[in-house]
């Protein structure tokens, strides 16, 4: 076997280094640590990449899969932070960039009857690292109800409302729970969503939304205001997109803010 | 060139004929005849297929593209019905099946201010044909507002509402306008959508939706009831999917009905 | 609570019954029984629907979620067949239709080095039932390598090849393993896919594909021929779509065949 | 009408300004100036956004649609650059950000027979502006053939190849043709794609790809090297994603390079 050409290891003379090279759109079963049940089974869509110095013709794609497979299925913040360093080691790279995107489930009780149902949220772990630094961004996508303040103010009855999606990414000092980010966002909307609502619950969420109208602008500002108050969050980006019930296009707003120290200067353990 | 192997024309001995073979996901600029402006430019995603008798190893994929290219860009019901027959001719087939899916635009005036804006609808022409018969199904996807009757009935104020999509397909006796199918569906919802609404318009659509609550069940029944009354419609299938503003899943309903003569027995010209 | 209006239970006078009404696009963690590891954790996208007789205004959407939640997470063929009957019971319906679509993982060893990696396949359980009958369709989507026989035959060197997806659905007499359907399809292509291949493996899969050219037509015929030989398969539909490496559109073929008894006449337990 | 509440214009006290607020996922028919035929009809998916100072509660969403509608359908680089300034004017904003994404068609002749067919490319105009500056990024997504150098080197016959997508964005000094960017990318791959190929053409593209193997790394480096040589390109980002025919995941590479002056300092007219 050993006489097979190793084309990837040949010299490249174009003098152009590559920022990221690797594998994308790989699906992989993982276990995520959650607050309630310790470990939650889900399926991630994975990107793994490293840089490539100008003198090397190609990376070794199979090693990305080997690094991923060498881990057990459990992916906490600690495990996720370890993978980039292993990629750097294994691929002889300077930097690594990984993304794990997966549905995350929370059991939620309906507000009146207490009937329990599972809500799903899309979560992404995005980690960039060098040998000395690690930059972790945690993204949650939280579906919510938004009810239009203008529509309520001008109409004799009713108000248009709709499902919206808030995409919220944070950099943090101390590890942060997915559940806490979801809660932060849900508290900023006209109402939160549930998978299971009986009639008394539906009455309450309808009235709650009507009593708490928010524009897409209010939604991102509410998230920003709460993030600004949390010492632990050092950077955030919040986007909201409302699937307007009166239009066939969406309303959109975004705030990005670096609150504190630049994220890439944080050491892994210090 | 002529000595190049024609593998596709070789004999196949598996004795298995193929229902459909062809090209899929081809994008192509087309012109659609509309009621208002005569010809409308848009871009279609195209499927073209024929059957393949058991004795032939393969079809000739390039001929599908040639048949499509040989047409001008204008695609009325007449032109669309001609393509399957040309495919049958050119590919020496017995049956052909084609689909053209494209966004279709209608100028709509806001209900109070009359401000004009373009609404987009997804339309599909689906045609199956033999040498003697042609079966045309016209599909429109119409986004609408739906306001929940239960939520309105039980709540002291407000009612949850959301964008829904109605997918409505019909077989017909005489050619039918896309605009008329869109109108039929929009009249069945809590309110229709607009791309441009000023405040006085927003007041009116909010109140109109509140005054016309429909379940996803009502929506498909309303479309069915209107279709049942139209002599020209001989078959229909209507699906509605509501992007519930209180849940992260959708409410769904479907009715399919063959009202009259079986569609495949209709001759092309008679 | 009990005085809240039950709008859904009101009488409807349009005299139009609804074929399917329910919930769509609900995500839910499930466990699938597999041949190798007994139980496999994954995440399903779920549709649950029943019929609605003409005299009822609406169904009770929350009961779909309750039926789903009342089950444990394990979904074997037996459990999946039970859900429609519970929906019929709980919703007072005549028919039910459910779909569970999920990624399914198989550990596969590379052909030369034996290096192990996880391959993912999209699987759908689609079940329609009445009180007396159940109709189960099992769908697998299997990505494969296809190498073009024509390109190989006419070219002095090389041959264009690409990833293709085979969508294969079967009705069966006795429960059938997902793994066996995947294997059946993979054996019909130019080569099967792997997530992890070292250089000696890559040499082998390259040469194997080159030695086994198949048109999209061959692919569906190969699957049909193998299905025809399996007593246990009573109906199948096989579609193949090749993401052609020389075109920006796809090549497509489909065969549907009812081999034996009509599927809806099969009783659940007899 | 005038007594209707203008909630959006109310004062906001949270002291949080919004980076971008506007409309997203709006579809709109446009005409693009091309080299060959002067004007080409297509359909764009549009984002329009502005910033919102901290003291204002909301933006006026309908004005985005009005600005868009006030333009004729023709969108050249000149027209596209005008829209952000009108948004700034109309919405009393400091900055605007717009995106128009649309399929763009090029007629291409097959390399041997000269048979003509239309190829489609996804193009995006992305423009950010203030009153004094405009930053235009032109993105093209070019599907190509890539043939693996390693697979070719180690295999006795054949080589795995596949469709890949190159996403190439540039900032430039003088307006640049979409066609020239597409050509630049197509010249960097193993072979370019065609919609119509007869057998003699298929022989040529098969052999050409086999004679020009490129890794995903080579593809982005080739694009980078050519971009570096073009004075007119001041910034670029090139990503390549190969839909590997031997894996169910994709190979990926990316290079981003600011070659010259920072883009936001370029004045609109000077």
pLDDT average, residue stretch D62-74: 89
Distance from the D204 Cα atom to the nearest Cα atom in chain C, whole angstroms:
8
What pLDDT digit, counting tens, does each position of C28-66 carry? 999 998 887 678 999 999 999 999 999 999 999 999 999
Please report the DSSP string for B158-180 in residue order.
---EEEEEEEEEEEESS---HHH
* Among candidates D105, D117, D199 on the partner chain, residue whose Cβ is nearest the Cβ of B4: D199
Number of residues assigned to chain C:
270
Using an 8 Å CB-CB cutoff, list chain B residues near C19. Answer: 254-256
* Among candidates C17, C21, C215 on the partner chain, residue whose Cβ is nearest the Cβ of B252: C21
- How many whole angstroms separate alpha carbon D217 and alpha carbon D213? 11
**H-type alpha helices, A126-235:** 149-154, 178-186, 199-211, 216-229
The residue whose two tokens read 């507000």 is A111
The model's confidence at residue D37, banded by pLDDT at 50, 70 and 90, is low
pLDDT average, residue stretch D60-89: 88
Question: How high is the pLDDT of residue C14?
Answer: 85
How far separated are the first and last CA of chain B, in Å rounded?
45
Does C248 score more than 80 pLDDT?
Answer: yes
CB contact under 8 A, D16 and A59: no
Does D73 score more than 80 pLDDT?
Answer: no
If residue C63 lies in a helix (H) or strand (E), which one and from where to where? Answer: helix C61-70
DSSP state of C243: -
- How many whole angstroms separate alpha carbon B93 and alpha carbon B104? 32
* Neighbouring residues of C232: CB distance < 8 A, sequence distance ≥ 6: C172, C173, C174, C176
pLDDT average, residue stretch C59-87: 88
Q: Are D192 and D214 in contact (CB under 8 A)?
A: no
What pLDDT digit, counting tens, does each position of A227-239 carry? 999 999 999 999 9
Please report the DSSP string for B214-234 in residue order.
--HHHHHHHHHHHHHH-TTEE
Q: Give per-residue burial for B84-104: e unless 16+ CB within 10 Å, then b.
A: bbbbbebbebebbbbbbbbbb
The model's confidence at residue B265, banded by pLDDT at 50, 70 and 90, is very low
Q: Are B69 and D118 in contact (CB under 8 A)?
A: yes
CB contact under 8 A, A245 and B154: no
CB contact under 8 A, C5 and B150: yes
Using an 8 Å CB-CB cutoff, list chain D residues near B195. Answer: 26, 65
CB contact under 8 A, D115 and B200: no
Question: How high is the pLDDT of residue A167?
Answer: 98
Which residues, in sequence order, are bridge partners of residue A27? A45
Q: Are C144 and C161 in contact (CB under 8 A)?
A: no
For chain C, the residues whose C-beta falls within 8 A of a C-beta of chain A are: 1, 4, 6, 26-29, 40-43, 62, 65-66, 69, 103, 105, 112-113, 115-118, 120, 195-200, 203
Does A37 score more than 80 pLDDT?
Answer: no
CB contact under 8 A, A247 and B194: yes
CB contact under 8 A, D248 and C163: yes
Residue of chain B nearest C58, judged by CA positions: B217
The residue whose two tokens read 């849940």 is B247
* D52 φ/ψ angles, rounded to the nearest 5 degrees: -135, 120
How far separated are the first and last CA of chain C, in Å rounded?
45
The residue whose two tokens read 């430019």 is B41
Q: Are C219 and C250 in contact (CB under 8 A)?
A: no
DSSP state of C248: S
For chain B, the residues whose C-beta falls within 8 A of a C-beta of chain A are: 119-120, 143, 145-148, 150-152, 154-163, 191, 193-195, 197, 199-200, 202-203, 205-207, 209-211, 243-249
Please report the DSSP string for C74-142 in residue order.
B--HHHHHHHHHHHHHHHT-SEEEEEEEEEEEEEEE-TTT--EEEEEEEEEEEEEEESSBEEEEEEEEE
Query: Which tokens go with A57?
Result: 């013709």
What pLDDT digit, counting tens, does each position of B169-196 carry? 999 999 999 999 999 999 999 999 999 9
For chain C, the residues whose C-beta falls within 8 A of a C-beta of chain D are: 119-120, 143, 145-147, 150-152, 154-163, 191, 193-195, 197, 199, 202-203, 205-207, 209-211, 243-249
Q: Is D16 helix (H, G, I), strand (E, B) or coil?
A: coil
Distance from the A49 Cα atom to the nearest Cα atom in chain C, whole angstroms:
16
CB contact under 8 A, B29 and D40: yes
How far separated are the first and last CA of chain A, in Å rounded?
45
- How many whole angstroms separate alpha carbon C212 and alpha carbon C189? 8
Query: Which tokens go with D198?
Result: 């007869």
CB contact under 8 A, C103 and A69: no
CB contact under 8 A, C195 and A40: no
**Exposed, middle or buried by CB within 10 Å (0-12, 13-18, 19+), for A192?**
buried
pLDDT average, residue stretch D138-161: 98
- How many whole angstroms separate alpha carbon A207 and alpha carbon D59? 26
Distance from the A43 Cα atom to the nearest Cα atom in chain C, whole angstroms:
6
Q: Is D66 helix (H, G, I), strand (E, B) or coil?
A: helix
Residue of chain A nearest B145, judged by CA positions: A245
Query: Strands, E, within chain B: which ranges?
Result: 18-34, 38-52, 95-109, 116-130, 134-147, 161-172, 191-192, 233-242, 250-258
Using an 8 Å CB-CB cutoff, list chain A residues near B203. Answer: 151, 154-156
CB contact under 8 A, A153 and D18: no
Using an 8 Å CB-CB cutoff, list chain B residues near D197. Answer: 62
Does A263 score more than 60 pLDDT?
Answer: no
CB contact under 8 A, D160 and C247: no
CB contact under 8 A, C246 and D145: yes
Q: Is D122 helix (H, G, I), strand (E, B) or coil?
A: strand
Domains of chain A: 7-265 (3.10.270.10)
* Among candidates B157, B163, B209 on the partner chain, residue whose Cβ is nearest the Cβ of A244: B163
Question: How high is the pLDDT of residue C10?
Answer: 86
Q: Are B164 and B143 in contact (CB under 8 A)?
A: yes
pLDDT average, residue stretch A130-152: 97
Q: Is A170 helix (H, G, I), strand (E, B) or coil?
A: strand
Question: How high is the pLDDT of residue C115?
Answer: 96
* B32 φ/ψ angles, rounded to the nearest 5 degrees: -110, 135
pLDDT average, residue stretch B28-52: 91
Indicate the range of A84-88, C7-11, C73-77, D28-32 predicted with least confidence: C73-77
Show which subunits contact A, needing at least 3 CB pairs below 8 angstroms. Answer: B, C, D
| Per-chain mean pLDDT for chain D | 92
Residue of chain D nearest C163, judged by CA positions: D245
* Neighbouring residues of C111: CB distance < 8 A, sequence distance ≥ 6: C194, C201, C204, C205, C208
Work out the number of other CB atoms within 10 angstroms of the CB of residue A233.
21
Distance from the A205 Cα atom to the nearest Cα atom in chain B, whole angstroms:
8
CB contact under 8 A, D43 and B40: no
* Among candidates A206, A243, A246 on the partner chain, residue whose Cβ is nearest the Cβ of B158: A206
Of B211, C6, D88, the closest CA to residue A200 belongs to C6
Using an 8 Å CB-CB cutoff, list chain D residues near C140. Answer: none
Question: How high is the pLDDT of residue B78?
Answer: 76
CB contact under 8 A, B252 and C4: no
CB pairs under 8 A between B and D: 71
Residue of chain A nearest D10, judged by CA positions: A150
CB contact under 8 A, B42 and D43: yes
| Per-chain mean pLDDT for chain A | 92
* Neighbouring residues of B270: CB distance < 8 A, sequence distance ≥ 6: none
* Among candidates A26, A43, A112 on the partner chain, residue whose Cβ is nearest the Cβ of C42: A43
Q: Are D42 and D102 in contact (CB under 8 A)?
A: yes
pLDDT average, residue stretch B88-100: 97
Residue of chain C nearest B26, judged by CA positions: C249
Query: Which tokens go with A55?
Result: 């003198």
Q: Is B4 helix (H, G, I), strand (E, B) or coil?
A: coil
The model's confidence at residue A16, banded by pLDDT at 50, 70 and 90, is very high
**∠ at Cα A84 (A83, A88), nearest 5°?**
120
| Per-chain mean pLDDT for chain B | 92
CB contact under 8 A, C154 and D210: no
The model's confidence at residue B262, banded by pLDDT at 50, 70 and 90, is very low
Q: Is A7 helix (H, G, I), strand (E, B) or coil?
A: helix
Indicate the range of A85-99, A178-192, B219-233, D25-39 predicted with least confidence: D25-39
CB contact under 8 A, D143 and C199: no
Indicate the range of A162-171, A205-214, B183-192, D76-85 predicted with least confidence: D76-85
Does B216 score more than 70 pLDDT?
Answer: yes
**Exposed, middle or buried by CB within 10 Å (0-12, 13-18, 19+), for B265?**
exposed
Query: Which tokens go with B249?
Result: 């899943």
Work out the number of other CB atoms within 10 angstroms of the CB of residue A79.
16
Question: How high is the pLDDT of residue C33?
Answer: 87
Does C76 score more than 80 pLDDT?
Answer: no
Does C265 score more than 70 pLDDT?
Answer: no
* Neighbouring residues of D207: CB distance < 8 A, sequence distance ≥ 6: C155, C156, C157, C158
Number of residues assigned to chain B:
270
Query: Which tokens go with B95?
Result: 């049956």
Side-chain-side CA neighbours of A143 within 13 Å: the count stands at 22
Considering Cα of A18, then A20, then A24, then A29, what sign does the dihedral take?
positive
* Among candidates A159, A162, A195 on the partner chain, residue whose Cβ is nearest the Cβ of B206: A159
* Among candidates A8, A20, A26 on the partner chain, residue whose Cβ is nearest the Cβ of D253: A20
Q: Are C225 and C180 in contact (CB under 8 A)?
A: no
Residue of chain C nearest D243, judged by CA positions: C163
Query: Which tokens go with D52?
Result: 């919102």
**∠ at Cα D78 (D76, D84), nearest 5°?**
105
Query: Which tokens go with C59?
Result: 């169904």
**H-type alpha helices, D73-198:** 77-91, 149-154, 178-186
CB contact under 8 A, B248 and A163: yes
């Amino acid at each position: 076997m050993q006489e097979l050409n190793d084309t990837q290891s040949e010299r490249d003379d174009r003098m152009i280094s590559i920022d990221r090279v690797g594998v994308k759109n790989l699906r992989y079963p993982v276990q995520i640590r959650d607050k309630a049940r310790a470990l939650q089974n889900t399926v991630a869509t994975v990107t793994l990449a490293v840089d490539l110095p100008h003198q090397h013709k190609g990376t070794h794609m199979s090693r990305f899969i080997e690094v991923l497979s060498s881990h057990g299925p459990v992916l906490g913040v600690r495990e996720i932070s370890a993978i980039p360093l292993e990629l750097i080691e294994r691929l002889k790279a300077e930097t690594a960039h990984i993304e794990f995107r997966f549905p995350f489930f929370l059991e939620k009780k309906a507000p009146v009857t207490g009937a329990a149902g599972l809500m799903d949220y899309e979560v992404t772990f995005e980690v960039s690292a060098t040998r000395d630094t690690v930059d972790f961004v945690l993204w949650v996508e939280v579906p919510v109800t938004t009810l239009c303040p203008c529509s309520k103010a001008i109409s004799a009855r009713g108000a248009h409302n709709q499902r919206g999606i808030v995409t919220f990414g944070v950099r943090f000092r101390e590890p942060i729970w997915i559940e806490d980010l979801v809660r932060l966002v849900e508290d900023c909307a006209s109402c939160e969503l549930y998978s299971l609502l009986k009639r008394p619950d539906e009455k309450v969420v309808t009235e709650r939304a009507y009593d708490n109208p928010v524009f897409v602008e209010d939604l991102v500002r509410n998230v920003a205001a709460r993030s600004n108050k949390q010492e632990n969050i050092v950077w955030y980006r919040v986007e909201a997109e409302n699937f307007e019930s009166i239009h066939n296009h969406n309303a959109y707003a975004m705030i990005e803010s670096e609150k504190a120290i630049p994220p890439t200067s944080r050491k892994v353990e210090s």
